[in-house]
Amino acid sequence: MAARTRPFVIVGGGMAADAAARGIRAVDPERPILLFSSEPHPPYDRPPLSKGLWHGTPEERIWRDTADESVTVRVDSMVTAIDPECREIELSNGERQGYEGLVLATGCRPRRLPGDPSGVVYFRDFESYRTVRRAADEGRRIAIIGGGFIGTELGASLRDSGSSVSLHYPEGAPLERILPGPLPRRIAEAFADRGIELHPHREVSDGAPLPDADLVVAGVGVEPRVGLARDAGLEVDGGIRVDASLQCSEPGIFAAGDVVSFPLPLRGGRYLRLEHESHANESGMLAGMGVAGSPQRYDPVPTFYSGFFGVTWEVAGLLECDDEAPGLHLGASIDDPGVGIYRVGGELGGLLLWNRPGMMGRAKTLLRDAPGSTDSEILERLNG
Ligand SMILES: Cc1cc2nc3c(=O)[nH]c(=O)nc-3n(C[C@H](O)[C@H](O)[C@H](O)COP(=O)(O)OP(=O)(O)OC[C@H]3O[C@@H](n4cnc5c(N)ncnc54)[C@H](O)[C@@H]3O)c2cc1C
């Protein structure tokens, strides 16, 4: 293919891939863009799969309409190899495609249970949502393995829609690895009050029987899909390693979303991976701009949100602190508003906003501009 007519190629069919297409278009309105997704659907929003779709959001609302950006979207198309020297990718059917620039947004795949027992639905994509939805609509009993984000969100959503749900996890309470103080215990109480059958301290081991249910769903974490990049000789260190503008170790190839290991300026350039919607959108957009010839420094304040049973919780920054526990300013009930303040080296590094909708903008400003604030100054500024 003549170099002048080569398209930009995006590998991946998630939110980062969609955002990358928009980033390219912001810089280059003309050159063709080809997006290859191994899923049978074009890009869509993933967060509603465990939340909004169970609470009235119509399925039509999740699609990202990537093709409207003059993007050719190829679904059911697994990219199996990259040849950086020839600037070509190869698909599972042997087809080769040249590229002007390449964005890798291959995301994550669900971690499998030990022994990979058959019949388990790994909750990650629209197809797995549909399987669980069908079972719920048929009144089946559903067991969820995993007490993290997916387990708590999906468990609560299923219960809200009248399903019989049990939740099985190795910790003492849901979200215990993520949330501080009394919150995990309070969540366990709220879930039990709502009729979710809780099974703490249940670690699924190889060969052990699965929970007794009509359908077993697992949400036990994810792994970055780095094989394609690694096989092409790109630097990989737990994610696809990129520089401050999301460029991979090979010029002309950028990466974005869950799969990238990037230097976070807010943490002195420490390399990490994030698995959040805002990161997929923001890094995708900048990777797209970069590959199209306008590289930008990626300097986010990480954010994410979650929720269940009317409780919302959001995080700005990272939920890490030095050896001290975070400063917790919580009410007596899980439904009360609260704030968690995380410090690293004495400076503000993360804010947990519990039932405090609409505060994210102020939280981000505090993290970026006033990390030396005292707890009372932080609470005052959050309250406006
Ligand atoms: C149920 C659920 C709820 C969530 N809720 C929240 C939330 O409330 N808040 C929040 O911040 N985050 C949430 N997340 C996380 C968020 O959705 C992810 O961070 C985001 O989807 C990552 O986007 P991505 O495009 O980087 O990767 P992915 O969404 O993993 O997409 C990767 C895509 O690449 C495709 N692909 C991979 N390899 C290839 C290949 N070789 N060839 C072709 N295609 C390939 C995959 O099929 C997939 O389509 C949630 C995730 C899930 C699953």
Q: Considering only CA atoms, which of 273, 377, 267, 279 is closest in space to residue 320?
A: 267
Locate the DSSP E strands across 157-310: 164-168, 197-199, 215-218, 222-224, 240-241, 253-255, 260-264, 270-272, 303-308
Whether the CB of 36 sits within 6 Å of ligand 1:
yes
Is residue 55 domain-shared with residue 134, that is, in the same domain?
Answer: no
What tens digit of pLDDT does each residue of 200-230 get? Answer: 999 998 888 999 999 999 999 999 999 999 9
The answer to whether residues 204 and 124 belong to one domain is yes
Dist. CA 199–CA 71, nearest whole Å: 46
Same domain for 227 and 349, yes or no, is no
d(CA 25, CA 285): 10
Residue 299, in any domain of the structure:
no
- Asked if residue 275 has its Cβ within 6 Å of ligand 1, the reply is yes
**For residue 207, what are the CA distances in angstroms to 10, 117, 135, 181, 203?**
40, 8, 25, 34, 12
Q: Does one domain contain both 277 and 212?
A: no
For residue 248, tell me if it sits in a domain.
yes
CATH no. for residue 136? 3.50.50.60
Same domain, 98 and 12: yes
Is the shortest distance between the CB of 226 and ligand 1 below 6 Å?
no
- The answer to whether residue 135 sits within a structural domain is yes
Model confidence over 321-367: pLDDT tens digits? 987 789 999 999 999 999 999 999 999 999 999 999 999 999 999 99
Residue 152 in any domain: the answer is: yes
105 and 227: one domain?
Answer: yes
**In this structure, are 100 and 233 located in the same domain?**
yes
Q: Rounded CA gap, 36 and 73, in Å? A: 6
Whether 21 is in the pocket of ligand 1, judged by its Cβ within 6 Å, is no
Looking up tokens 């704030």, which residue turns up? 339
Atom of ligand 1 nearest to the CA of 306: 8
On whether residue 74 sits in a domain, the answer given is yes
C-alpha 268 to ligand 1 mean position (Å)? 27
Statement: residue 3 has pLDDT above 80: no
The predicted model gives 136-146 an average pLDDT of 98
Say how many domains are in the chain. 3
ipTM: 0.99
Domain boundary among the residues 240, 256, 291 is at 291
Q: Which residues, other chains included, contact 230 with Cβ-Cβ below 8 Å and sequence gap of 6+?
A: 236
Q: Is the CB–ligand 1 distance for residue 276 below 6 Å?
A: yes
242 CB near ligand 1 (under 6 Å)? no
Q: Is residue 304 part of a domain?
A: no
Long-range contacts of 240-248 (CB under 8 A, 24+ apart): 240/104, 240/106, 241/271, 244/269, 244/297, 244/298, 244/299, 245/286, 245/290, 245/295, 245/296, 245/297, 245/298, 246/283, 246/286, 246/287, 246/290, 246/295, 246/298, 247/290, 247/295, 248/104
In this predicted model, what pLDDT tens digit does every residue of 46-74 receive, in sequence order?
Answer: 999 999 999 999 999 999 999 999 999 99
pLDDT of 293-332, one tens digit each? 999 999 999 999 999 999 999 999 999 998 778 999 999 9
Q: Same domain for 196 and 143? A: yes
User: Which residue's CA is minimally distant from atom 6 of ligand 1?
Assistant: 47
Distance 5 CA to ligand 1 centre (A): 30
Please give the pLDDT value at position 324.
75
Cβ–ligand 1 distance for 107 under 6 Å, the answer: yes
Tell me which residue has its CA closest to atom 31 in ligand 1.
14
What's the pLDDT at 286?
Answer: 98
CA distance 255 to 84: 14
- Domain ends where: 158, 184, 218? 218
Helix (H) or strand (E) run with residue 348 in it: strand 347-354
Rounded-to-integer distance, Cα 130 and Cα 286, Å: 32
Instruction: Establish if 266 belongs to a structural domain.
Output: yes
Query: Tokens 């070509």 label which residue?
Result: 88
CA distance 227 to 117: 23
Please state, for a pLDDT cut of 70, what percent of the chain lies above it. 99
Summary mean pLDDT of the chain: 96
Q: What is the pLDDT confidence band of residue 5, given thresholds at 50, 70 and 90?
A: confident
Is residue 114 situated within a structural domain? no
According to the model, what pLDDT value does residue 1 have? 47
Q: What is the pLDDT of residues 247-282, one digit of tens each?
A: 999 999 999 999 999 999 999 999 999 999 999 999
Q: Is the pLDDT of residue 120 over 60?
A: yes
Question: Pick from 297, 290, 296, 298: which is nearest to 251 by CA?
Answer: 290
Q: Report whether residue 159 contacts ligand 1, using a CB cutoff of 6 Å.
A: no
- Which of 106, 152, 253, 308 gets mutated to test ligand 1 (max ligand atoms within 8 A of its CB)? 106
Same domain, 134 and 281: no
136 and 232 together in one domain: no
CATH code of 315's domain:
3.30.390.30
**What pLDDT, on a 0 to 100 scale, did the predictor assign at position 322?**
84
Whether residues 15 and 66 fall in one domain:
yes
CA 236 – CA 253 distance, rounded (Å): 13
Task: Look up the domain containing 317 and give its range.
Answer: 310-383
Q: Which structure tokens are listed for 153?
A: 């969100």
pLDDT at 207: 87
Residues 166 and 235 both lie in one domain: no
